A and B are shown apart, each in its own frame.
Chain A
Amino acid sequence: MFNSLTANWSQWHWVWFAWGQLILAYIGYILYLNWRYRRLVSQIEEDER
């Protein structure tokens, strides 16, 4: 159980920390997938030229 006397962060800090990491992970991974796709397309164009 959450103990507000010993906790350094408030409950809402933890809630935003958890949701924030989820948002960052989703955005980061989608950007990474797009980067990989564009890099592959460029490589294939380069290879097959």
Chain B
Amino acid sequence: MNSTSKQTFSRPTRPLWLNLFALLNLILFGVGMYLGLVRSPVDVTQGDLIRIMYAHVSVAWICFLAVFLCAIFGAIFLWRSGKINDILAVASAEMALFFSGLTLIGGMTYSKPTLNTWWTWDAKLTATALMFFLLVGYFIVRGLIDDPVRRGRVSAVIGLIILADVPIIYFASEWWRTLHPAKSINLDGSGVTMQPEFLQVLLFNVVVAALIYIYMMIERVRIGRLEARQEEWLEHKRQNQQNQKSEAIHV
């Protein structure tokens, strides 16, 4: 019997700092909404619809971050093992699934009034939908494997495959003709085409979405640690029952 299963389980207390962090997120989200819905100027071509961009783009960027961190923690698990790396990878994968779903739905909501279509099978949208379904597959595969080490390894490889989709989504509007607008912020150093009044509000909302991601990650990791403990305990119980059965047969 290992040390974990010997200890009796005591209901964990919720730390005060986590509640304070949640409150901070709520306040900052309110400020982000105020900036996006009230303080942001109206766009010359899109009018008030530019305000949807703050909700949509911030969520899409955090989706990329979540996929990136899922792949990083997965790679660390492949390299050095360690249960916590798998817990972090799966938590980030769940965040990526959540944020990619929001990106798709928010994108459709932005697309209908501006481009007069909910959806089109262009490269950028298709690659984003592919990422969403790969993330669904990530969880289906995890559910099919019982051995925690093998499950962690297989899902880490899937996480790395999903990461390969991120640059395809990011550069899709440059590589192919897409209905999706071209990037306004180019990370290759060619500059920012967005006006500073819009950019400041967008960056604020991106930071808020990143903090919400961190908050949700903490909550999800707490669940992951409990799940690992439960799995360990059930495995231990199963082994004990098997041992008792074999002893009874010998007697």
Where the two chains meet, the residues of A that have a C-beta atom closer than 8 Å to any C-beta of B are: 1-3, 6-7, 9, 11-12, 14-15, 17-19, 21-22, 25-26, 29-30, 33-34, 36-37, 40-41, 43-45, 47-48
* Residues B56 and A18 in contact, CB atoms below 8 Å apart: yes
Q: Cβ of A12: which chain B residues have Cβ within 8 Å of it? A: 48
Which of B109, B216, B222 meets A21, CB within 8 Å? B109
Which of A3, A18, A33, A36 meets B216, CB within 8 Å? A33
Alpha-carbon separation in the docked complex, A36 to B227 (Å):
10
Known: A11-B113, A29-B98, A33-B219. A21 touches B229 (CB 8 A): no
Known: A2-B49, A41-B226. A22 touches B219 (CB 8 A): no
Q: Fill in one digit per residue for B18-59: 1 if any A CB lies within 8 Å of its CB, else 0.
A: 000010000001000100110000000111110110011001
Binds A, one of B4-12, B82-90, B189-197, B242-250: B4-12
Which of A2, A15, A44 meets B226, CB within 8 Å? A44
Q: Cβ of A45: which chain B residues have Cβ within 8 Å of it? A: 9, 11
* Residues B113 and A26 in contact, CB atoms below 8 Å apart: no
* Residues B233 and A48 in contact, CB atoms below 8 Å apart: yes
Where the two chains meet, the residues of B that have a C-beta atom closer than 8 Å to any C-beta of A are: 8-9, 11-12, 22, 29, 33, 36-37, 45-49, 51-52, 55-56, 59, 98, 101-102, 105-106, 109-110, 112-114, 116, 212, 216, 219-220, 222-223, 226-227, 229-230, 233-234, 237
Alpha-carbon separation in the docked complex, A26 to B204 (Å):
17
* Residues A1 and B114 in contact, CB atoms below 8 Å apart: yes
* Residues B102 and A15 in contact, CB atoms below 8 Å apart: no
Alpha-carbon separation in the docked complex, A7 to B45 (Å):
16
Alpha-carbon separation in the docked complex, A37 to B18 (Å):
14
Which of B56, B109, B114, B223 meets A2, CB within 8 Å? B114
* Residues A18 and B114 in contact, CB atoms below 8 Å apart: no
* Residues A40 and B11 in contact, CB atoms below 8 Å apart: no
* Residues B45 and A1 in contact, CB atoms below 8 Å apart: yes
Of all chain B residues, the one with the shortest Cβ separation from A21 is B105
| Min CB gap B113→A, angstroms | 5
Q: Cβ of B109: which chain A residues have Cβ within 8 Å of it? A: 14, 17-18, 21
Most chain A beta carbons < 10 A, residue from B8, B45, B55: B55
Alpha-carbon separation in the docked complex, A42 to B36 (Å):
41
* Residues A18 and B52 in contact, CB atoms below 8 Å apart: yes
| Min CB gap A8→B, angstroms | 10
Q: Cβ of A22: which chain B residues have Cβ within 8 Å of it? A: 55, 59, 102, 106
